[in-house]
Amino acid sequence: MSIGSRGPGRYGRSVTSRAYPPLRSAPPAELVTGGRYNFGTYDGPIATINPLDAAGDGLLAGPRRAVRDLGLKEWEAFQLGDDDWFVLGAVYNAKALGLLQVLVVDKRKDTITRFETKLPSPMLSVARGLSGTTSHGDFDGLKISLGNDLPDGTLTVDATRSARGDNPSLSLHTTGDCSPESAAHLVIVHPFADNDALYSHKVMMPMTGSLVLGDERVGFADDHGFLILDDHHGDYPRPMKYDWITAARRADGRVEGFNLTDNQIRNPAEFNENAIWVGNSLDRLPPVTFERPDGPWGMWRARDADGAVDVTFTPVVRSTMHVGPRKVLAEYYAPYGWFSGVIHGENNTLSVDGMYGVGEQKRITV
């Protein structure tokens, strides 16, 4: 087994030499109260996602809300798969443009099939809140709908596109189980500035469903499907930049995985979105840094200062999206590949040997 108990720790558990962030707490009722973000790290959904209320009240509230909305990067994304397939998708609103995307990676053949289209951002919708909502877009033949019923423990992913060129048709339909018995939530409201925040809701869960490419049903194996939700709304500085890796797998009915990010958040020792998931258990982790001595297509290494995290990522499938001359507006690398190493949480240790996932090196000014 890749999971091992670390034994007692904080609040009754024996203290280790490693410094871990504070435990998650119960979520507030709303993201913004009285014009201020409720900064913290939470263990469940925030009912009301109202980032524009950070503009405050008064005569200039309307123009301030419009300005904040233009600067707010919003997406609802997912990663899902089984032992043979890894799929990444998103409904993405950068305000300057929108993106619908489903990328299907065959882990056995090291190939990627891309279903994506750019569109005017008003033509898609990213939900604010995950109770009875939908993030969706339908443009140029690609249709994506993400159904959010997290209080009821379900998340659905549906995507279709007809065949064109060398690409086959796509039919993706899955349902994730994020009930308390099956999954753990990592909900962050972390500060970029005094009243600029990154809100993100991540949860890893078991998944059932189907993936059809052309005339061939290719996924997913019974009792091996996993699904990762990434709901994201951020008042990012400009340029927006971060490093990120994530992976998951499912064995014996339980999903295990990790999320590691080095971003622009203040005080990352307290505020970061680094964590491991083991079934319905979650351990927060210290801040990490990334090394890529051979560039984005060479090996990546993510580590913390105290030895809790030591993960190596070996890309095998390349994916990029650059915008502007000399990548001046956006420089984005997103390889897929294999992980090795170990992560020590306060309650669990996770070996990531043989895990498959994705990494991002991102810098965006648009």
With 0-12 CB in 10 A as exposed, 13-18 as middle and 19+ as buried, what is 54? Answer: buried
- pLDDT score, position 16: 52
- pLDDT score, position 6: 41
φ, ψ for residue 304, nearest 5 deg: -105, 180
- Give 113-117 contacts, CB < 8 A, sequence gap 24+: 113/167, 113/168, 113/213, 114/167, 114/319, 115/142, 115/159, 115/161, 115/167, 115/170, 116/142, 117/141, 117/142
- pLDDT score, position 328: 67
- pLDDT score, position 321: 78
Q: Give CA–CA dist 83/79, Å, rounded.
A: 13
pLDDT in tens, 214-243: 999 998 998 999 999 999 999 999 999 999
- pLDDT score, position 11: 32
pTM: 0.93
Q: Give CA–CA dist 273/311, Å, rounded.
A: 16
Q: How far is CA 223 from CA 86, 108, 200, in A?
A: 15, 19, 28
Q: Give CA–CA dist 86/89, Å, rounded.
A: 10
- pLDDT score, position 184: 98
Residue ranges of the chain with per-residue pLDDT less than 50:
1-15
Q: Which residues contact 242 (CB under 8 A, 6 or more apart)?
A: 261, 262, 263, 264, 360, 362
pLDDT in tens, 274-294: 999 999 999 999 999 999 999
